[in-house]
Amino acid sequence: MNHKLLLGTSNPGKIKEFKQILQDIPYELTTLKEASCNIEVIETGKTFLENATLKATQYAHATKLPCISDDSGIEIDALNGRPGIYSARYGGPDLSDSERVELILEEMKNISIEKRQARFKAAIVIAWPNGKILNSEGTMEGIINFSPTGENGFGYDPIFLLPEFGKTSAEINPDEKNKLSHRAKAIRNIIPLL
């Protein structure tokens, strides 16, 4: 039995989070780079779960290793759920994370604090080369801050305010975030199934 688990992402922030959250499972974690897997999976799904499934199954097939993948993003009520599944590509493929944050802030500049509800959503899928699939989803509720704050995290973390902490998810320490985050919740739900 192969005890390697492939992390089906090339995003350094997600790799770091996966490694922290999965540190106690009885699998050796390996990355796409370490597995010499350079295929590009086109995310054609209409939901986070569909996209996570596409990635996990294609990487598992290509590497012959079980693969854990996620698709995640932020849904903002005042923007009718945007950017949603397009979170990583919102505003175009050439924008940086900080430019995407600025785009969101610009789109929301006239929206009051009472109407800035948002949530991070994550779908986690583990796929095996034999076709077996497990999945789980997680959500973290918050509001969109008026400006970016904090150095931890990545993506939209600097503007995602957690009201119960009075901090953005980029201001809380990684250990706290790994207890609360949408990805952590989804992974914790799936770990017992491994």
What residue type is 116 in one-letter code? R
Give the percent of the chain with pLDDT over 90.
Answer: 80
Phi, psi of 40 (to 5 degrees): -105, 120
The pLDDT confidence band at residue 178, using thresholds 50, 70 and 90, is confident
118: nearest Cα among 181, 147, 161: 161
d(C-alpha 153, C-alpha 174), whole Å = 8
User: Which positions are annotated as active-site residues?
Assistant: 71
Structural domain of 50: 4-193
- Please state the pTM of the whole predicted model: 0.89
The pLDDT confidence band at residue 13, using thresholds 50, 70 and 90, is confident
pLDDT (tens digit, 9 = 90+) per residue, 72-106?
999 999 999 999 999 999 999 899 999 999 999 99
d(C-alpha 85, C-alpha 67), whole Å = 20
The pLDDT confidence band at residue 174, using thresholds 50, 70 and 90, is confident
Q: What is the pLDDT of residue 176?
A: 86
Quote the mean pLDDT of the chain: 93
CATH code for the domain in which residue 52 is found: 3.90.950.10
The pLDDT confidence band at residue 1, using thresholds 50, 70 and 90, is very low
pLDDT (tens digit, 9 = 90+) per residue, 100-142?
999 999 999 999 999 999 999 999 999 999 999 999 999 999 9
3-state SS, 100-145, equals HHHHHHHHCCCCCHHHCEEEEEEEEEEECCCCCEEEEEEEEEEEEC
Q: How many domains are there within the chain?
A: 1
Question: What average pLDDT score do residues 142-163 get?
Answer: 94
